[in-house]
Structure 1
Amino acid sequence: MMIRQNQRSFTAGQIMATSDVLQQIPEYEVQRALARHLSGDWGDCCLEDSGANEEALQSGGRLFSVYHTADGIKFWIITEADRSATTVLLPENY
C-alpha cells in the first residue's frame, strides 16, 4: 500500500493483523488507525517512541504507533525498518 507522499509518509509494505485484532477490534477502527499511522500520527505512544519514529522516517528505522479503540482496547501498529510489512497487533501478541 502506498499513500500520497509528503515528508511524513512512507510505504507500509504488506499489511497484516493478528487474529486477536481481527476478533476484538472493529475493522473501521483498524482502518482509521492505519491511516493515522501512515500519515505520521503516532497516536498515544510516549515522547521517546514518537521521537524515535521521527528519526526513523529519515534513517529508515522501525515505526511504532499506539492507539486505543472507543472501548479502550490498546493496540499497536508496527512498520518494519525495511518497510516490507506493517502489522496491527495487541500488546500481548508481541
Structure 2
Amino acid sequence: MARAQAAGRHSRDDVARTALRILDEHGLPDFTMRRLGAALDVQPSALYWHFPDKQSLLAELADRIVAEAATTATDGPGDDWRERVRHAATGLRSALLA
C-alpha cells in the first residue's frame, strides 16, 4: 500500500477505480458518494477534492468505460475493416451494458 494511501489520501485514479468497482457490484441506482467514501475509508466530502460533484465523477467513469472499449476494439481480429468495426461495436455495447 502506498504511503499516501496509508495516510488516508487517495488519488483521483484511486477514487475512479473504486467507483467503477462499486458500479460493477451494485449498479448505478445504489451508487452513492457515501458508499464510495466508505469503500475508501474517507468522509464523502473528501471525494469532492478530486471531483466537483457526482455528475463529474460519473462522466469520468463513462469516459473510462468508452476508452477501455475503444482500446479493446483496436485489438480486433484480422485485417478486414468490417470485422474490426463489428468487434468494436460489440465491445462498446458490452462495456455499456456491464
Q: Which has the higher contact order (CA 8 A, sep 6+)?
A: 1
| TM-score normalized by the length of structure 2 | 0.26
| TM-score normalized by the length of structure 1 | 0.26
